[in-house]
Copies of this chain bind each other. A is one copy, B any other.
């Protein structure tokens, strides 16, 4: 990136190691099923006078991806199974919502009143299978203005969604970038959600530093870094959680390793997991 480009981009080059610029793209419209995310991303970049460059990262909130993929479910259209009805009674949730959670999950990890922590079909351990009701449009149906409750499921295959977006953006801009889908998830032992990578493309999601020297030239032991989760968390700071409407974030300055991987690399094997 030369000086002219830097001025055009309205921010300095981050060629030096150790500098990161994180910008939530402005004026992203509410997305409906079938909307093309690549053109929405490109419009957002143009608003910021940003040109995609090799090594840039685009982070998208799970919700905007799910919406563009039409991953809505109307609770009225769900018929809960007996298992869902029993479990719903147990945890005091809507049995139709519990039915959806079960159908999105491989396993129930913990349950308690109001809390249902599952292993999602994607392998991710999270509350309510990532099904969210905030920031989701409600359907108005019938003549009596009845509001039907709609919820939003995770993208069917977030790694594939990232790969498709990465390819589309490469086609439009020529830049080799990485794409991450993040979601706000709860954690064991700690209060508050943090941004986490549920899908990635074009980046080594799990960074393996085994054997790299430390400051005193001794090899590091057993050091793997959940770098895509850190990038997802960083993007989450500027996205906001409430009415900010900033679901697409551009990150510049991270120097990716040569390797690649997917968000699946971040999921610990059940045999190695002490907390299920």
Q: Which residues of chain A have a CB within 8 Å of any CB of chain B?
A: 10-12, 17-24, 26, 30, 110, 112, 115, 117, 124-125, 133-138, 184, 187-196, 206-207, 209, 212-218, 220-221, 223-227, 229-231, 233-234, 236-246, 253-254, 265-268, 273-276
Contacts and interface: CB of A to CB of B under 8 A. Distances in A.
Contacts of A11: 11-12
A229 B135 contact: no
**10 smallest beta-carbon distances between A and B, as pairs:** A192-B226, A18-B24, A234-B234, A188-B275, A233-B233, A188-B188, A125-B189, A20-B22, A230-B233, A212-B242
A217 B25 CA distance: 22
A48 B37 CA distance: 37
A118 B189 CA distance: 11
The interface centre, meaning the residue of A117, A194, A246 with most chain B CB atoms within 10 A of its CB, is A194
A interface majority secondary structure: loop
Given A19-B24, A24-B18, A275-B110, A125 B188 contact: yes
Contacts of A18: 23-24, 26, 238-240, 244, 246
Contacts of A244: 17-18
Nearest to A221: B134
